[in-house]
C-alpha cells in the first residue's frame, strides 16, 4: 500500500534553547554563561560581547521570558497544542556553574528533573541539546573556550552527569547545536556562541577554527559512545544549521562553486555521521599548511561515536555566484552570496524558500541514509496585538504550512526517514542573532518588549489553534 501520510508516531512539537527562554540567570546556583554577557542588538546592530556582566548594558537573556519560573504554565499550553515532544537544552551553567567543578549543582539538576516530569505528565518527550550557545563564561575567560583541549573533558563530564541522571526521562539527545555556524569565522558572534572563541582575534582564524572543531568532534563522539553505554536505547544526534547553497545559475562555474561551498555544511555531518574527516577537507588543510593537533586515539573515537540521526535547522536557502564580489552582509556573507530573485525575504533578510526544505531533506538523506529530525524551522516576525487582544499571525501560518507541505512530500513521495518536526521558538523568546524580543517566532505570545517593559503574560496567537489542528490531523490539515 502506498504511504500517503506521515507516520503515526511522528514527533510534532516545538523547540527553544535554555538561555533564550529560561531567564533566572543567577538563580538556583547557576553560573554566568556566554549568553549572559551578550547585550541586546537589533537588525544591523551587533550584540556586544562584554567582559563579564557590566553596568550600562542590557542583557536580554538574564530574564528572557522567565520559563524558569513559569514552565508549568507553558508546558500546559504545549500540551494544549498536542505536542508529542519539546526540544530544549540543558544550561551547562545550571549543572556546573563554572564548568570545571568536580561535583554538579543539585539545584540545577533538580530543575530539569521537574521540567521533564512536567512534560512527561502530558506524554511530551523532552528532546535535549547538550550545548546550545551557553557554555560557562568561566571556561572562556580562564581556559580560552574550546581552543583548550581540557574543555573536552569538562564537557564530557557535564554530559555524563545529565545522560545518567535523565536516562529514564529523555531518549533523544543532540550534542552541539548548529556546530557549523562558526565556520563563518569572520562574524564574531558565531564563534563566540559555538565555542567561546572570537576567531577574528586569532592569528590564524581558520586554523584555530579547525582545532576547535576537532575538539568538539572528539567530545561529541565521546558523548555518543558513552551515552550508548549508559542507555542503549538513546538516540544521540548531531545538529546542523542547514542553509543550503544553490548555484545562482546553470553556469558550470556557479554549479561547481555551490558544490565546493556545500563542503562547509557537509564537513560537519561527514565527520559526525561517518566518523572520519572527508578527503576535500584534508586536502584543504594540506594546501593551507594547517597543523591540527590530534591525539593518537582520536581517530578511533570519531569512528566509534557516530551520530544516530541528523538534527537540523532550516530557515532559508542562499544562492551563490562564482564570480560575484564579496557580500557586505557580515552575518550571512558567504563569498558570492547574492539575493535569489525567485524568493522573498523576511524583515531580517532571511530568504523564504519552502522547497529548499524538501531539497535539504533529500540531499541529507541521500548522502547518509540516517534518520533526520527537523529540530528548527520558523518565521521571525514583528507581531501586532490588536485592540481586542488577538494576534493574527497569518504570515507565520503561511510560512509554516508551506514548509510542512514540502516536508510531507519529502517523506511521502521521496521516502525520507524523518523523526519529527519542532518549529523554532514555539513560545516567543529572545532572538539569538539580535537579542531582540521583537523578533518573534511563537504560537504563544509573551508580553515582553525591547525597551524592557511587559508583564511576561502569555497569550495564544492565531497560529496556536492552527498548529493544534495540524498536529491533531497529523499534518493533513494545513
Catalytic residues, which ones? 376
Place of cell 562564482: 322
**Residue 87 or 94 with smaller CB distance to ligand P53:** 87
CB 131 within 8 A of CB 92: yes
- With respect to ligand P53, which residue has the nearer C-beta, 422 or 431? 431
CB of 120 to ligand P53, least distance (A): 24
Residue with Cβ nearer ligand P53 (241 or 444): 241
The CA-based dihedral angle spanning residues 402, 13, 130, 308, taken in that order and rounded to the nearest 10 degrees: -80
What is the residue-wise DSSP string for 78-96?
A: HHHHT-SEEEEE--HHHHS
In terms of CB distance, is 7 or 339 closer to ligand P53? 339
**Residue corresponding to grid cell 538516540:** 235
- The footprint of ligand P53 (CB under 6 A) covers 17, 20, 177-178, 181, 241, 243, 313, 315, 376, 380, 424, 431-434, 439
Task: Using only the alpha carbons of the chain, give its radius of gyration.
Answer: 21
User: Which residue's Cβ has the minimum distance to ligand P53?
Assistant: 433
Q: Which is nearer to ligand P53, 17 or 302 (CB)?
A: 17
The rounded distance, in Å, linking the Cα atoms of 206 and 424 is 30
Q: What share of the chain is helix, strand, coil (3-state, %, to 5)?
A: 40, 15, 45
Task: Give the CA dihedral 298, 304, 308, 311, nearest 10 degrees.
Answer: 0
List of long-range contacts for 348-351, beta carbons under 8 Å, 24+ apart: 348/43, 348/380, 348/433, 348/434, 348/439, 349/43, 350/315, 350/316, 350/380, 351/316, 351/317, 351/318
In the bound complex, what is the minimum distance in angstroms from residue 243's beta carbon to ligand P53? 5
Measured in Å, how far apart are the chain's first and last C-alpha atoms?
A: 24
Q: Which is nearer to ligand P53, 93 or 313 (CB)?
A: 313
DSSP strand pairing (318-320 vs 337-338): antiparallel
Residue 345 beta carbon to ligand P53: minimum distance, rounded to whole angstroms: 13
Q: Which of 79, 82, 95, 80 is nearest to 128 (CA)?
A: 95
149-to-152, 201, 215, 245, 404 alpha-carbon distances in Å = 6, 19, 6, 32, 41
CB of 470 to ligand P53, least distance (A): 21
Closest CB to ligand P53 among residues 316, 416 = 316
CB of 309 to ligand P53, least distance (A): 17
> Closest distance between ligand P53 and the C-beta of residue 320, in Å?
16
Least separation, in Å, of the C-beta of 343 and ligand P53? Answer: 15
Three-class SS state of 227:
helix
Say if residues 265 and 244 touch (Cβ distance below 8 Å). Answer: yes
For residues 310-328, one letter each, b for 16 or more C-beta atoms within 10 angstroms of the residue's C-beta and e for the rest, the string is bbbbbbbbbbbbbeeeebe
Q: Could you identify the residue written with the cell 527562554?
A: 21
Q: Nearer to ligand P53 by C-beta: 88 or 148? A: 88
Cell numbers linked to 276: 572520519
What 8-state DSSP symbol labels residue 287?
H
Q: Phi and psi of 374, rounded to 5°?
A: -80, 100
Q: How far is the CB of 66 from ligand P53 (least distance, A)?
A: 17
CB closer to ligand P53 out of 6 and 91: 91
Give yes or no for a contact between 158 and 302, defined as CB atoms under 8 angstroms apart.
no
Closest distance to ligand P53 from the beta carbon of 36 (Å) = 15
Amino acid at each position: 500500500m502506498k504511504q500517503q501520510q506521515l507516520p503515526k508516531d511522528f514527533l510534532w512539537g516545538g523547540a527553544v534553547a535554555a538561555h533564550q527562554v529560561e531567564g533566572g540567570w543567577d538563580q538556583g546556583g547557576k553560573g554566568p554563561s556566554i549568553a549572559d554577557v551578550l547585550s541586546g542588538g537589533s537588525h544591523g546592530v551587533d550584540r556586544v560581547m562584554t567582559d563579564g556582566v557590566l553596568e550600562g548594558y542590557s542583557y536580554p537573556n538574564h530574564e528572557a521570558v522567565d520559563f524558569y519560573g513559569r514552565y508549568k504554565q507553558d508546558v500546559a499550553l504545549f500540551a494544549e497544542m498536542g505536542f508529542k515532544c519539546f526540544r530544549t537544552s540543558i544550561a551547562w551553567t545550571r549543572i556546573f556553574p563554572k564548568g570545571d567543578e568536580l561535583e554538579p549543582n543539585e539545584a540545577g539538576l533538580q530543575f530539569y528533573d521537574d521540567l521533564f516530569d512536567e512534560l512527561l505528565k502530558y506524554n511530551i518527550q523532552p528532546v535535549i541539546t547538550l550545548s546550545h550557545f551557553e557554555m560557562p563564561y568561566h571556561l572562556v575567560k580562564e581556559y580560552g573556550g574550546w581552543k583548550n583541549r581540557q574543555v573536552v573533558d569538562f564537557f564530557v563530564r557535564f554530559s555524563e552527569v545529565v545522560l545518567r541522571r535523565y536516562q529514564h526521562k529523555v531518549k533523544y539527545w543532540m550534542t552541539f547545536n548548529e556546530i557549523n555556524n562558526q565556520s563563518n569565522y569572520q562574524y564574531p558572534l558565531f564563534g563566540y556562541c559555538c565555542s567561546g572563541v572570537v576567531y577574528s582575534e586569532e592569528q590564524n582564524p581558520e586554523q584555530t577554527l579547525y582545532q576547535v572543531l576537532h575538539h568538539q568532534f572528539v567530545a561529541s563522539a565521546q558523548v555518543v559512545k558513552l551515552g550508548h553505554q549508559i542507555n542503549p536505547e538513546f538516540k544521540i544526534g548531531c545538529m546542523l544549521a542547514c542553509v543550503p547553497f544553490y548555484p545562482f545559475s546553470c553556469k558550470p562555474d556557479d554549479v561547481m562553486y555551490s558544490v565546493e561551498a556545500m563542503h562547509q555544511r557537509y564537513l560537519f555531518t561527514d565527520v559526525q555521521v561517518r566518523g572520519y574527516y572527508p578527503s576535500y577537507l584534508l586536502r584543504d588543510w594540506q594546501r593551507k599548511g594547517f597543523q591540527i593537533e590530534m591525539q593518537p586515539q582520536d581517530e578511533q573515537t570519531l569512528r566509534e561515536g557516530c551520530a544516530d540521526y541528523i538534527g537540523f535547522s532550516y530557515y532559508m536557502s542562499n544562492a551563490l555566484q562564482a564570480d560575484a564580489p564579496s557580500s557586505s552582509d557580515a552575518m550571512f556573507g558567504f563569498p558570492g552570496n547574492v539575493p535569489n530573485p525567485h524568493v522573498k525575504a523576511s524583515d531580517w533578510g532571511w530568504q523564504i524558500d519552502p522547497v529548499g526544505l524538501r531539497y535539504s531533506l533529500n540531499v541529507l538523506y541521500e548522502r547518509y541514509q540516517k534518520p533526520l529530525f527537523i529540530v528548527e524551522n520558523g518565521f521571525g516576525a514583528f507581531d501586532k496585538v490588536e485592540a481586542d487582544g488577538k494576534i493574527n499571525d497569518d504570515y507565520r501560518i503561511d510560512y509554516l504550512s508551506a514548509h510542512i507541505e514540502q516536508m510531507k512530500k519529502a517523506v511521502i513521495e521521496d521516502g525520507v526517514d524523518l523523526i519529527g518536526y519542532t518549529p523554532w521558538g514555539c513560545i516567543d523568546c529572545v532572538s539569538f542573532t539580535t537579542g531582540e524580543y521583537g523578533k518573534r517566532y511563537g504560537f504563544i505570545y509573551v508580553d515582553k518588549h525591547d525597551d524592557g517593559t511587559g508583564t511576561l503574560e502569555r497569550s495564544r496567537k492565531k497560529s496556536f489553534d492552527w498548529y493544534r489542528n495540524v498536529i491533531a490531523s497529523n499534518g493533513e490539515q494545513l
